[in-house]
Amino acid sequence: MIPNIPQIGGRLIYFLQKWKEINSEALILQGVQAIWKSKQSKQRLESMITQQPFRGSQIETNRMESIINQELEAGVIEEIKLNQAKWINRCFLIGKPDGSFRKIVDCRKLNEELVSQHFKMENIQELQDLLTKDCYTTSIDITQAFHHVSVIGELKQYLSFQFKQKTYQYIAMPFGISLAPRTFHKILRPVIESIRCKWNVRILSYVDDIIIIGKDKQVLENKTQEISNYMRTLGWVISEKKSRITAMQEFEFLGWNFNSLNQQMKITEEKKNKLIRHISKIIQTIRQQEMVTVRELARLRGKLNFLRVVTPQASFYLMEISKVINQEINKYGWDRNRIIPKTILKELEWWRQTISINKPFNFIIPDREAVITTDASKIGWGATQILPNQRESVKESGNWNKTEMNMSSNLRETTAVYLSLKKFNNQILQNRVNGVLINTDSSTTSYNINRRRSATSLANATQMIIALAENNQYKIRAKHIPEKTNTEADSLSRLSRCGDYALKQEILDNAMKEMNKQITIDAFANRKNRKTQRFYS
């Protein structure tokens, strides 16, 4: 064992030989480094530097002192002289549900001068795809995960904070810096890929939360123990308390309760109750016309966004909230106290009721999918449906009324999907279909259906589609198809269902000439569309 390895802070760098085995030692040596927005970024910060003494009650002061001593011992921070700090961040505590405190370093000003790099993380939808029926899961939790990464170079001097006339700086990557999530993701990714190949498991990581999936309970538990031991050889400190080696089919992950037996998920009771309390507080504030900052309202919107994955209609009940937030920010900024308009109460009440019900969301992958192909013209709409295990399509069509004829082409296409789905709905339910694929030659319509949101002008029609599928418990997805291949639905949409039809005289004459025939009487005709002198209807 190499001596003097820190408990947590920057300890990965002491295990370089193991990281070389997965060709990732360069990531560890790079650690987290400053990526400045401009050459003037450092100068701007240094010109604004001020002392940031800790402010809090005696209880909070005592707790902060305890946390700082723990971080010093773990090698996360170090004490420096005041003149060594080039930027000082505000430091404070926030309360946790269990009565303890979490130390927060406010890096917002520093983050404004650092390049924000976007990256793709795994998400709940990907976890849904991995969870097959009756599968088991285990989880691994890394203790103070971000702190395992070293801060490299001059960035340390900008990660300073103060407490009791002393100045400290981070030598291990803190949570508040904007570079941290991407840096950590890059370092953990080759570890996950190595585990996936070596143990042949389905595995997903969301920041420092790792979940492992398998079909056999005992095999998965054995593999999870081996994976935990492997991660320790790379320098990670694994939390025995927070990790779950016992394989389960019903489990909690990132605020969600999953059940692989019935392939359903819903938010945990704890998260549900917190959200209801938060919404109720905002509703009461608005009704009493009390002041609130737009930042507080935006914070609630962020929490509601979290529920999109189990709430297909979520976007349509955030439209007015988002509109008010944007208007307030443009006029008054983030932190000015304002009386929030009552126009958002309807959406907030819907959210409170929906969250209270906490209806389980079925994440099963459809195995009986109907295919509906739609199209819209200026005079009407048309659609065909092919049910599972059937070759023949069923056809439906209809005419627009005068108001509908004046709709935009995108709205006509979206409405055509809704009317088609409504017409075919009974057949879908009778045939136990659990998924519907919509083929449409409108890229806007397919895009809106798949992302479960749209522009205001299309919101009502799009929402009706999503709501119809949700209420009847089948999944819906859309696919854009070329207009030239959408011939049958197109023909149906242009078919007039009123008035009288007549063959073109030129076509009729050519047909009669080809057959060497002469018409003497026109059956089922009238005076306007007859082709001969003699006719009857």
Q: CA-to-CA distance for 421 and 196, rounded, in angstroms?
A: 41
Q: Assign 3-state DSSP to the chain and report helix, strand, coil percentages, each to 5.
A: 45, 20, 35
Per-residue confidence at 3, pLDDT binned at 50, 70, 90?
A: low
Residue 354 predicted with pLDDT over 80: yes
For the stretch 366-402, pLDDT in tens is: 889 999 999 999 999 999 999 998 888 999 999 999 9
Task: For domain 369-494, say whether CATH 1.10.3720.10 is its number.
Answer: no
At residue 337 the predicted structure's pLDDT band, cuts being 50, 70 and 90, is confident
Per-residue pLDDT at 501:
61
Q: Is the pLDDT of residue 303 over 90?
A: yes
Q: What is the pLDDT of residue 142?
A: 96
Mean of all residue pLDDT scores within the chain? 92
Residues 385 and 436: their CA atoms lie apart, in Å, by 10
CA 58 to chain centroid: 41
- Taking Cα atoms as reference points, which of 135, 136, 144 lies closest to residue 241? 144
Asked whether the CA dihedral 56, 58, 59, 62 is positive or negative, the reply is: positive
The pLDDT, as a whole number, for residue 65 is 96
The arithmetic mean of pLDDT across residues 483-497, rounded, is: 85
Instruction: Name the token pair of 470.
Output: 């949700």
pLDDT at 152 over 90: yes
Domain 11-248 homologous superfamily, CATH = HIV Type 1 Reverse Transcriptase, subunit A, domain 1 (3.10.10.10)
Least confident of 108-122, 173-187, 236-250, 484-498: 484-498
| Distance separating alpha carbons of residues 313 and 315, to the nearest angstrom | 6
The per-residue pLDDT for 316 is 96
Residue 496 banded pLDDT, cuts 50, 70, 90: low
Helix residue ranges, H only, 135-257: 180-199, 217-233
Instruction: Assess contact for 265 and 259: CB atoms under 8 A.
Output: yes
In whole angstroms, give the CA distance from residue 13 to residue 31.
Answer: 9
Give the H/E segment covering residue 409.
Answer: helix 409-430
> What single-letter DSSP state applies at residue 155?
G
Inter-residue contact 250 to 261 (CB < 8 Å): yes
Closest CA to 404 of 391, 383, 418: 418
Give 442-475 as a DSSP string: -HHHHHHHHHT---HHHHHHHHHHHHHHHHTT-E
Determine the distance from the C-alpha atom of residue 2 to the mean position of all C-alpha atoms in its chain, rounded to a whole number: 43
Residue 411 · residue 374 · CB < 8 Å: no
Q: Can you give the residue ranges of every domain in the chain?
A: 11-248, 268-362, 369-494, 500-536
Between CA 243 and CA 141 the distance in angstroms is 5
> How many alpha carbons lie under 13 Å from residue 471 in its C-beta half-sphere?
10
**Tens digits of residue pLDDT in 402-449:** 999 999 999 999 999 999 999 999 999 999 999 999 999 999 999 999
CA 276/CA 299 separation, integer angstroms: 14
Q: What is the pLDDT of residue 1?
A: 45
What average pLDDT does this structure show over 281-308?
92
Q: How confident is the model at residue 506 (pLDDT cuts 50, 70, 90)?
A: confident
- Residue 92 pairs in a beta bridge with 104
- Identify whether the C-beta of residue 158 lies closer than 8 Å to the C-beta of residue 36: no
E-strand stretches of 316-368:
337-339, 361-362
- DSSP-based three-state secondary structure for 256: strand
Is 60 exceeded by the pLDDT of residue 45? yes
Asked if residue 528 has pLDDT above 70, the reply is no
Tokens of 318: 């955030």
- Give the tens place of pLDDT for each residue, 199-258: 999 999 988 889 999 999 999 999 999 999 999 999 999 999 999 999 999 999 988 999
- Tell me which residue has tokens 């404004």: 112
Q: What's the rounded mean pLDDT across residues 181-207?
A: 95
Whether the per-residue pLDDT at 158 is higher than 70: the answer is yes
